[in-house]
Amino acid sequence: MFLESLSDRLQETFRRLRGKGRLTEADVEAALREVRLALLEADVNFLVVKDFVARVRERAVGQEILNSLTPAQQVIKVVHDELTGLMGAEEARLSHSGKGPTVIMLAGLQGSGKTTTAGKLGLFLHKQGRRPMLVAADIYRPAAIKQLQVVGEQTKLPVFSLVDADPVTISAAGVAEATRLGLDTVLIDTAGRLHIDDDLMAELEQIKTAVHPAEILLVVDAMTGQDAVNVAKTFNERLGLTGLILTKLDSDTRGGAALSIRAVTGTPVKFAGLGEKLENFEVFHPDRIASRILGMGDVLTLIEQTQKVMDAKNAQAMLEKLRKSEFTLDDFLQQMQEMQKIGPLDQILGMLPGMSSKEWKHLKLDERELTRVGAIIQSMTKGERSHPHIINGSRRKRIAMGSGTNVQQVNRLLQQFEQTKKMMRQLTEAGRSGRRPKLPFGF
């Protein structure tokens, strides 16, 4: 998970704060020292941390908060608000050209994930009804053009390239071709370097002059820490960035660049890459990221991701089955398959309010496990799938032999099934009452 260690430490600090009831200024100062250390250890810029703690202190030690009925919650709200402001307060939207195709220029160092990000952004825009074209302007890195073409095939997006032409010519020709085809968006995958140099910057400036992009987005690897902030500063000074895309936000490394980069550069983070799959890409919502860090969950994003892959009628039908205790092993398998489409199980649970990463970071649901579960369930009779309580010892041996597994794996599946039913009921009840669901173990 993104900023996992920071999240764990902040949640533990505020858990102790909530246990005190009434707070004194000394209590707040002690908590702020922990917050400061946690941010520094997460590789957040020192000056950013200093300003952040000062703003929180100014708001948190006021008598209105200290004398309130829930002072700890008020302090947490202050930290949440300041974290959100630190990352940009509101989501930053893409600009669109009023005439002709909207040109989006992607820049970044080699290895930042720029080419894959071009495909992710193209797919994201296509799902929004746009008609994008990818332009291969990286002629230096071996197989860069081929990689973009493969990404284009995977996303079903057109890819433009030219043989024996320079990046400026390719970019301009790509925009002209998109205009001819009636496409409304052009994503230019520019060349990167291992390090910033004048030749790279001069070439990017020439491309900017030639195609007049509406957006110049810098792709930054969130795992590179403060180096990412320095890279962004340099690119911004030379090109005038309009936004940033942070990749590898699903990593559990320190990742403090995400909290520093907006404050240091003044450039908003517009998108985040959260995995290797082309669908693992989303708008960067500062308030939702702050909520995840503080253990408040991110139910809005979870709902949005669920709605993309789950049919509303099927979801309602499944809910009715749960209420009537008619949830079967066939339904269980279907839910596991649907859940895999939404994303990794640990990321899904990380969006639930109150879930500490200690509770879910070990949870994995890979394709092999899903195949094994499917084999076990398909080896059962229809009656066994509908009424698992009839599966006795001899039936378990038969199911294990038929599925190529062992009795222990069959037992584990049946335990998971019962635990999942309980969790889904609790989630339903929590949605109505606001209570936190208990996490089933065993996955």
Complete DSSP assignment for 375-408: HHHHTS-HHHHH-GGG--HHHHHHHHHHHT--HH
Question: What whole-number distance in Å separates Cα of residue 414 and Cα of residue 373?
Answer: 10
SS3 percent helix, strand, coil of the chain, rounded to 5, is 60, 10, 35
CA 10 to each of CA 36, 91, 148, 270, 355: distance values in angstroms, whole numbers, following the listed order:
10, 24, 40, 25, 13
**Parallel/antiparallel/unpaired status of strands 185-189 and 269-273:** unpaired
Please check whether residue 48 is in contact with residue 260, taking contact to mean a CB–CB distance below 8 angstroms: yes
Q: Is the pLDDT of residue 24 over 90?
A: no
Bridge partners (DSSP) listed for residue 435: none
Please check whether residue 152 is in contact with residue 126, taking contact to mean a CB–CB distance below 8 angstroms: no
Position 383: which residue type?
Answer: G
What confidence score (pLDDT) does residue 439 get?
39
Nearest to 431 by CA among 357, 374, 370, 352: 352
**Range with lowest mean pLDDT among 109-118, 147-156, 272-281, 320-329:** 320-329
Please check whether residue 253 is in contact with residue 44, taking contact to mean a CB–CB distance below 8 angstroms: no
Q: Is the pLDDT of residue 65 over 90?
A: no
**Parallel/antiparallel/unpaired status of strands 243-247 and 159-160:** unpaired
Average pLDDT of the chain, as a whole number:
81
Q: Is the pLDDT of residue 8 over 50?
A: yes
pTM over 0.75: no
Q: Strand order in 215-221's β-sheet?
A: 159-160, 132-136, 185-189, 102-107, 215-221, 243-247, 269-273, 281-283
What would the pLDDT profile of 183-230 be if each residue is shown by its tens digit?
999 999 999 887 888 888 999 999 999 999 999 999 988 777 777 888
Residues 6+ positions from 163 with CB-CB distance below 8 Å? none
Nearest to 105 by CA among 92, 121, 124: 121
Report angle CA 426, 428, 432 to the nearest 5 degrees: 110
All domains of the chain, ordered by start, with CATH? Answer: 4-86 (1.20.120.140), 102-296 (3.40.50.300), 300-433 (1.10.260.30)
Q: What is the mean pLDDT of residues 140-152?
A: 92
3-state secondary structure of 104: strand
Question: What whole-number distance in Å separates Cα of residue 161 and Cα of residue 184?
Answer: 18
Question: What whole-number distance in Å separates Cα of residue 47 and Cα of residue 179?
Answer: 46
What would the pLDDT profile of 267-281 be if each residue is shown by its tens digit?
889 998 887 889 889
Question: What whole-number distance in Å separates Cα of residue 50 and Cα of residue 230?
Answer: 18
What confidence score (pLDDT) does residue 436 get?
45
Report angle CA 90, 96, 98 to the nearest 5 degrees: 140
Question: What whole-number distance in Å separates Cα of residue 221 and Cα of residue 228?
Answer: 7
CA 432 to each of CA 350, 425, 429, 439: distance values in angstroms, whole numbers, following the listed order:
20, 11, 5, 18
